[in-house]
Chains A and B, each alone.
Chain A
Amino acid sequence: MFIFDSKYTSLKTLLNNDQLHITLQRLAHQLVENHLSFKDSAIIGIQPRGIFLSDRITKMVKQITGNNKINYGRLDITFYRDDVQTRDIHVPSDTDIPFSIEGKNVILIDDVLHTGRTIRSAMDALIDFGRPKKVELLVLIDRRFSRELPVQPDYVGQTVDTILTQKVKVYWKEKDGKDEVVLLDKM
């Protein structure tokens, strides 16, 4: 989880309010392009920060397709992390997947793709609920060149080149009062 502290200073805005909105629209349309009616597809957001993105995307997909019964779930990966012993204990969020993922085309959604470890955990967690036909990954920001595992996204909002000391912070209106993506660095 992203711990925000005052030691970081903002370098630049990656996406402002309008740009973010356009990007979300594009991602939603790309999903519909590949999944059409979403009959055998499911959207699953990764807790805690990924669900703001997945909430929005799901809403948009519903508008575009006119299908109000899209399978949508939230996945908490706390118990599947590979760093339980080396970091502070994480407080888990709820997992809520009210449908079977067996044989479904699942779209995993998270806000920022960095090392790929979160996605590795999420795939392990997901498999414990059944065997999806296919798993895709949608992220808003892809920090390429910082991967520690071979994970690649299928849908990307924006690709950025970052160094390790930097952080990408996504603000959501629902939680932070504004829609914006910024790049931060240590002061």
Chain B
Amino acid sequence: MLSVKHLLGIKELNVSDIEQIFQTADNFKQVLQRPIKKVPTLRDTTVANIFFENSTRTRLSFELAEKRLGADVVNFSASGSSVSKGETLIDTVNNILAMKVDMVVMRHSASGAPWFLANHINAGIINAGDGTNEHPTQALLDAYSMREKLGSLKGKRVTIIGDIMHSRVALSNIFCMAKLGAEVTVSGPPTLIPKHIASLGVRVEYNVKKALEWCDVANVLRIQLERQHKPLFSTLREYALYYGVNRQMLDSLKKDIIIMHPGPINRGVELNSDVADSKQSIILDQVENGVAIRMSVIYLLSGKREME
């Protein structure tokens, strides 16, 4: 049983929560390899996927996870909804809940939105990404995928490269890695690395090559141009030149490191195709594990509902 009622951020989970999510995900991964990839566990549960921001992978992954648990699913995206008519977040969600929805999966552009919602509504909430704050299921599936390749993460070295400042994936990963005992280095252009990031217990290395030499796993992040309101580096070509990960760079290392990326990839910018499609890359394993991890989280939170 998890120590929390909602999955808002990795910050609030303890190590045994994370281990329990992983163990349960192992079982769901088995289910997903069967001819019938579905169990009737949540046949009396309805889940609403409320996405105020665009998403392909996360939303699809959540929807598949819900359906494979036997839950009923409703999808909502902000574009073309009453949000554009000025409805508030609580009103929008309460209206959805009035239609007897048991659980909410939400992505929102405002950091902290799921916490706000958790204080005001009576339903389980799973954060599918809030602003530049957290993206807990992504960090869980990243850690789960690393664990699959490396065993325990204790003492392992993980480098996170790219737009650390705007990345909720980076923050959730930093929390998650710390809880599981891995060391983290962040790397990228100084303008994209927050000033006091070291206070979270991570190393900062502006030279990507050196950061790669140090690590067992490189988690390469997407350059999020949509979140940059003023330019923070001069051109994408310059970024690719100094901070992009390419084959030549990996071959010059004395070891085979694991390459990860939360997607969507800007090919030729942060990651070259000869790296993304190579044997070292576990990008598609991450996507595959995403469904099992989300099934696990939804299942473990589903029992927490208060009985009427």
By a CB distance below 8 angstroms, the chain B residues around A125 are 39
- Which of A28-36, A82-90, A109-117 lines the interface with chain B? A82-90
CB contact under 8 A between A80 and B299, given known A85-B305, A86-B307: no
In the complex, the answer to whether B1 meets A128 with C-beta atoms within 8 Å is: no
CB contact under 8 A between A84 and B303, given known A76-B27, A91-B23, A94-B27: yes
By a CB distance below 8 angstroms, the chain A residues around B300 are 89
Give the CA-CA distance A118 to B40 in the complex, in Å.
14
- Contact-size category for B: 20 to 34
Q: By the criterion of a CB under 8 Å from any partner CB, how many residues of chain A are at the interface?
A: 21
Q: Tell me whether B41 is interfacial, beta carbon within 8 Å.
A: yes
In the complex, the answer to whether A80 meets B305 with C-beta atoms within 8 Å is: no
In the complex, the answer to whether B23 meets A79 with C-beta atoms within 8 Å is: no
Nearest chain-B residue to A84 (Cβ)?
B41
One of B20, B31, B302 near A84 (C-beta < 8 A): B302
In the complex, the answer to whether A87 meets B303 with C-beta atoms within 8 Å is: yes
CB contact under 8 A between A84 and B42, given known A91-B20, A91-B23, A95-B27: yes
By a CB distance below 8 angstroms, the chain B residues around A154 are none
In the complex, the answer to whether B39 meets A89 with C-beta atoms within 8 Å is: no
Give the CA-CA distance A138 to B111 in the complex, in Å.
56
In the complex, the answer to whether A129 meets B34 with C-beta atoms within 8 Å is: yes
Nearest chain-A residue to B39 (Cβ)?
A79
Task: Please give the distance in Å from B306's CB to the nearest CB on chain A.
Answer: 10
By a CB distance below 8 angstroms, the chain B residues around A103 are none
Give the CA-CA distance A128 to B41 in the complex, in Å.
13
Contact with A along B26-69 (1 / 0, CB 8 A): 01001100111011111011000000000000000000000001
Nearest chain-B residue to A97 (Cβ)?
B34
By a CB distance below 8 angstroms, the chain B residues around A95 are 27, 30
Q: Tell me whether A136 is interfacial, beta carbon within 8 Å.
A: no
In the complex, the answer to whether B303 meets A92 with C-beta atoms within 8 Å is: no
Q: Tell me whether B77 is interfacial, beta carbon within 8 Å.
A: no
In the complex, the answer to whether B24 meets A80 with C-beta atoms within 8 Å is: no
Task: Please give the distance in Å from A22's CB to the nearest CB on chain B.
Answer: 36
By a CB distance below 8 angstroms, the chain B residues around A89 are 1, 299-300, 302-304
Nearest chain-A residue to B20 (Cβ)?
A91
Nearest chain-B residue to A95 (Cβ)?
B30
In the complex, the answer to whether B36 meets A128 with C-beta atoms within 8 Å is: yes
In the complex, the answer to whether B44 meets A85 with C-beta atoms within 8 Å is: yes
By a CB distance below 8 angstroms, the chain A residues around B69 are 79
Contact with A along B1-28 (1 / 0, CB 8 A): 1000000000000000000100110010
Give the CA-CA distance A93 to B23 in the complex, in Å.
9
Give the CA-CA distance A76 to B34 in the complex, in Å.
14
One of A81, A86, A92, A129 near B24 (C-beta < 8 A): A92
By a CB distance below 8 angstroms, the chain A residues around B34 are 128-129
Task: Please give the distance in Å from A94's CB to the nearest CB on chain B.
Answer: 7
Give the CA-CA distance A89 to B303 in the complex, in Å.
5
CB contact under 8 A between A88 and B39, given known A94-B27, A129-B34: no
By a CB distance below 8 angstroms, the chain A residues around B42 are 84
Give the CA-CA distance A80 to B20 in the complex, in Å.
19
In the complex, the answer to whether B40 meets A80 with C-beta atoms within 8 Å is: yes
By a CB distance below 8 angstroms, the chain A residues around B31 are 79
Which residues from 41 to 100 on chain A have a C-beta closer than 8 Å to any C-beta of chain B? 76, 78-81, 84-89, 91-95
In the complex, the answer to whether B302 meets A91 with C-beta atoms within 8 Å is: no
Give the CA-CA distance A95 to B44 in the complex, in Å.
24
Nearest chain-B residue to A128 (Cβ)?
B36
CB contact under 8 A between A91 and B41, given known A79-B31, A128-B36, A129-B34: no
Give the CA-CA distance A85 to B40 in the complex, in Å.
12
Which residues from 251 to 308 on chain B have a C-beta closer than 8 Å to any C-beta of chain A? 299-300, 302-305, 307
By a CB distance below 8 angstroms, the chain A residues around B40 are 79-80, 124
Give the CA-CA distance A78 to B31 in the complex, in Å.
12
Give the CA-CA distance A146 to B1 in the complex, in Å.
29
By a CB distance below 8 angstroms, the chain A residues around B36 are 128-129
Give the CA-CA distance A129 to B33 in the complex, in Å.
11
By a CB distance below 8 angstroms, the chain B residues around A80 are 39-41
By a CB distance below 8 angstroms, the chain B residues around A86 are 307
Task: Please give the distance in Å from A158's CB to the nearest CB on chain B.
Answer: 33
Q: A84-B303, A85-B307 are in contact. List 13 more A-B contacts (CB 8 A).
A: A78-B41, A84-B41, A84-B42, A85-B44, A85-B305, A86-B307, A87-B303, A92-B23, A92-B24, A125-B39, A128-B34, A128-B39, A129-B36
| 17 interchain pairs, CB-CB under 8 A | A76-B27, A78-B27, A79-B27, A79-B69, A80-B39, A80-B41, A84-B41, A84-B302, A85-B302, A85-B307, A89-B1, A89-B299, A91-B23, A92-B23, A92-B27, A94-B27, A129-B36
